[in-house]
Amino acid sequence: MRKQQLVLLALFWLPVAANAQWMWNINKLNEIKKDINLPEYNGAYRQLIDEADNNLNKKPYSVTFKTGKAPSGDKHDYVSLSRYYWADPSKKDGLPYINRDGESNPELDNYDRNPLGNMASDVTTLSLAYFYSGDKHYAKKAVKLLRVWFLDKKTKMNPNLNYAQFIPGTNDNKGRASGLIDSYSFVEMLNAVKLLESSKDYTEKDRIGLQKWFEELINWWKTDKNAIAEKNSTNNHGLAYDVQLATFSLFVGDKKTAMEIIKKTPENRLFKQIEPDGKMPRELTRTLAFHYSVYNLYFMVDMAATARNLEINLCDSISTDGRSLYKAVDFLTHYIGKDLSAWQYKQISGWDKAQQNLCEELFRLSAINPARKDYFELYKKYSKIVDTDRNILLY
């Protein structure tokens, strides 16, 4: 009954003006909202509402709830274990932990990385459900999650990643540069938060408080030695650093910084990470080479989508020797729908999931540039979630 009521509500609820989006085009979202019950949108909308209804019953997340101890002794510090590091079986205490690339350590659950990702994902889902349905319960829950994670004195996260992806027994258990990728979930979340601005539950105090929190994070992002090392990374981490800083800057109203980052993306990232034949060599060295190639493409498309809404075209940027985003895509699509045996690099697990992730990027690129009908046809042919894909509601 609740779903039927929401469908009817979506039919009659008038669009409320929202501030400009970055990664998503607010005008397009409003057009979709008006037609939300058409067959091409209804499956994805129902899936969104199902997920949002489930999120209404979840408890809030906080860095103060973790069972693992913060090396600093401050429970408000974000802490995460380096995903692919495990206790050394040859040592009695297991220290220092050793690398098993591509194999996730279940001890991750003792720290903050998964709660951060879950919180950001739930806020995104709830914010979108509020936007498309008009049901204030979704906005109220999203705001509660934001307050507990970022604003409430007893539970808020300190605005730094000093202990992100630490390796037990190494460097006094301090974080690593690569840990900055942990907060990438904030990128989509902050786009979704903009949709809450029409809600009475998202107060001016909330908005100012959240902006202040991200202003402090930006300061850390620009000055911390791990952050600077991440900025200088030449693989997917360097690009992820840029996308995050651009988004954080847009959120706090610093459009100038975001524009500077975006305009330098072709020279600083795309042309340095992509070869003329489309390969991304730094990603191909991994034991999950296809996954990380698609992962880096995901960051590229996020940046391209944001740039498009700021009237900058990254997709058509091409170097003198032919390096481009499309070259990277075309290299990967050569393997779509094929068996793992066709891939000449390592991919120790997750072949099918990585293929589906590639399908999602093909859809987004076909929306950013409708002329790429070939990408849309590949998406339709190989995606397993065409009818319920959330990207249908975003692009």
pLDDT in tens, 155-192: 999 999 999 999 999 999 999 999 999 999 999 999 99
Cα separation, 68 vs 96, whole angstroms: 17
Structural contact between residues 142 and 119, judged by C-beta atoms closer than 8 angstroms:
no
pTM of whole model > 0.75? yes
In a 3-state reduction of DSSP, which class is residue 1?
coil
Cα separation, 91 vs 6, whole angstroms: 57
pLDDT value of residue 20: 58
What is the chain's Cα-based Rg? 21
Cα separation, 141 vs 119, whole angstroms: 11
Please write the tens of the pLDDT for every residue from 61-96.
Answer: 999 999 998 999 999 999 999 999 999 999 999 999
Cα separation, 206 vs 199, whole angstroms: 11
- Tell me the Ramachandran region of residue 95: left when phi exceeds 0, alpha when psi lies from -120 to 50, beta otherwise: beta
Structural contact between residues 257 and 249, judged by C-beta atoms closer than 8 angstroms:
yes
Torsion of CA 299, 301, 303, 304, to 10 degrees: 160
Amino acid at 183: S
Structural contact between residues 248 and 63, judged by C-beta atoms closer than 8 angstroms:
no
Which residue positions in the chain have pLDDT lower than 50?
1-19
pLDDT value of residue 7: 44
